[in-house]
Structure 1
Amino acid sequence: MESKIEVISTVTIKNSPDLYKVVDVLNRSLKHRDLMFGLALDKEDQEKAVFTIYRT
Protein backbone atom coordinates (compact mmCIF):
# COMPACT_ATOMS: atom_id res chain seq x y z
CA MET A 1 0.00 0.00 0.00
CA GLU A 2 1.52 3.29 -1.11
CA SER A 3 0.71 6.51 0.75
CA LYS A 4 0.67 9.67 -1.34
CA ILE A 5 0.64 13.06 0.37
CA GLU A 6 -0.55 16.04 -1.69
CA VAL A 7 0.09 19.66 -0.70
CA ILE A 8 -3.20 21.56 -0.95
CA SER A 9 -2.10 24.98 0.27
CA THR A 10 0.79 26.78 1.98
CA VAL A 11 0.81 30.18 3.62
CA THR A 12 3.45 32.13 5.56
CA ILE A 13 2.15 33.91 8.66
CA LYS A 14 3.48 35.72 11.71
CA ASN A 15 4.68 33.20 14.29
CA SER A 16 2.84 32.94 17.60
CA PRO A 17 3.66 30.81 20.66
CA ASP A 18 0.22 29.14 20.59
CA LEU A 19 0.00 28.54 16.85
CA TYR A 20 0.90 24.86 17.28
CA LYS A 21 -2.34 24.41 19.29
CA VAL A 22 -4.41 25.37 16.25
CA VAL A 23 -2.51 22.90 14.07
CA ASP A 24 -2.95 20.18 16.70
CA VAL A 25 -6.72 20.65 16.97
CA LEU A 26 -7.09 20.72 13.18
CA ASN A 27 -5.13 17.47 12.86
CA ARG A 28 -7.23 15.78 15.55
CA SER A 29 -10.54 17.08 14.19
CA LEU A 30 -10.06 16.52 10.46
CA LYS A 31 -7.95 13.37 10.31
CA HIS A 32 -11.03 11.35 9.27
CA ARG A 33 -11.34 13.58 6.18
CA ASP A 34 -7.81 12.64 5.06
CA LEU A 35 -6.43 16.09 5.88
CA MET A 36 -3.18 16.83 7.69
CA PHE A 37 -1.79 20.18 8.80
CA GLY A 38 1.84 21.16 9.25
CA LEU A 39 3.68 24.06 10.84
CA ALA A 40 7.35 24.99 10.49
CA LEU A 41 9.47 28.04 11.12
CA ASP A 42 10.39 29.98 8.00
CA LYS A 43 14.03 29.21 7.19
CA GLU A 44 14.78 32.82 6.28
CA ASP A 45 12.76 34.62 8.97
CA GLN A 46 12.35 32.95 12.38
CA GLU A 47 9.51 35.35 13.24
CA LYS A 48 7.33 33.78 10.55
CA ALA A 49 5.79 30.34 10.33
CA VAL A 50 4.84 28.27 7.30
CA PHE A 51 1.42 26.63 7.61
CA THR A 52 0.70 23.82 5.15
CA ILE A 53 -2.44 21.78 4.44
CA TYR A 54 -1.99 18.26 3.04
CA ARG A 55 -4.36 15.61 1.69
CA THR A 56 -3.30 12.10 2.69
Structure 2
Amino acid sequence: MTATKRQIKPLNQPDIVAQFEAKARRLAGRTSENQLRFLKVAKAKGKEMEPVGRMAGVRA
Protein backbone atom coordinates (compact mmCIF):
# COMPACT_ATOMS: atom_id res chain seq x y z
CA MET A 1 0.00 0.00 0.00
CA THR A 2 1.30 3.44 -0.79
CA ALA A 3 0.76 6.42 1.40
CA THR A 4 -1.31 9.17 -0.15
CA LYS A 5 0.16 12.63 -0.14
CA ARG A 6 -2.11 15.36 1.06
CA GLN A 7 -1.49 19.03 0.85
CA ILE A 8 -2.66 20.92 3.91
CA LYS A 9 -3.95 24.38 3.13
CA PRO A 10 -3.26 27.11 5.69
CA LEU A 11 -6.41 28.62 7.17
CA ASN A 12 -5.00 32.13 7.46
CA GLN A 13 -5.80 32.97 3.85
CA PRO A 14 -8.85 35.26 3.60
CA ASP A 15 -10.38 33.47 0.61
CA ILE A 16 -10.31 30.08 2.36
CA VAL A 17 -11.81 31.55 5.52
CA ALA A 18 -14.55 33.21 3.44
CA GLN A 19 -15.33 29.89 1.75
CA PHE A 20 -15.65 28.12 5.11
CA GLU A 21 -17.83 30.91 6.45
CA ALA A 22 -20.11 30.86 3.40
CA LYS A 23 -20.48 27.08 3.63
CA ALA A 24 -21.23 27.27 7.37
CA ARG A 25 -23.89 29.92 6.84
CA ARG A 26 -25.45 27.90 4.00
CA LEU A 27 -25.54 24.71 6.07
CA ALA A 28 -26.81 26.46 9.21
CA GLY A 29 -29.99 27.59 7.54
CA ARG A 30 -32.28 30.26 8.87
CA THR A 31 -32.00 31.41 12.50
CA SER A 32 -35.28 30.86 14.33
CA GLU A 33 -37.01 33.52 16.40
CA ASN A 34 -36.29 31.53 19.56
CA GLN A 35 -32.57 31.41 18.77
CA LEU A 36 -32.55 35.15 18.11
CA ARG A 37 -34.27 35.77 21.45
CA PHE A 38 -31.60 33.75 23.28
CA LEU A 39 -28.83 35.67 21.51
CA LYS A 40 -30.42 39.03 22.34
CA VAL A 41 -30.74 38.10 26.03
CA ALA A 42 -27.15 36.81 26.10
CA LYS A 43 -25.91 40.06 24.60
CA ALA A 44 -27.91 42.15 27.04
CA LYS A 45 -27.04 40.19 30.20
CA GLY A 46 -23.39 39.53 29.47
CA LYS A 47 -21.08 37.06 31.18
CA GLU A 48 -22.71 37.17 34.63
CA MET A 49 -25.38 34.73 33.41
CA GLU A 50 -22.81 32.16 32.17
CA PRO A 51 -22.63 28.94 34.18
CA VAL A 52 -19.55 28.35 36.31
CA GLY A 53 -18.05 25.35 38.06
CA ARG A 54 -19.75 22.01 37.53
CA MET A 55 -22.58 23.58 35.53
CA ALA A 56 -20.12 24.81 32.91
CA GLY A 57 -18.78 21.32 32.24
CA VAL A 58 -15.35 19.81 32.35
CA ARG A 59 -12.45 21.77 30.93
CA ALA A 60 -9.71 19.84 29.23
TM-score by length of 2: 0.28
The structure having more radius of gyration, on CA atoms, is 2
Query: RCO higher in 1 or 2 (8 Å CA, sep ≥ 6)?
Result: 1
Structure richer in strand, relative to its length: 1
TM-score by length of 1: 0.30
Structure richer in helix, relative to its length: 2
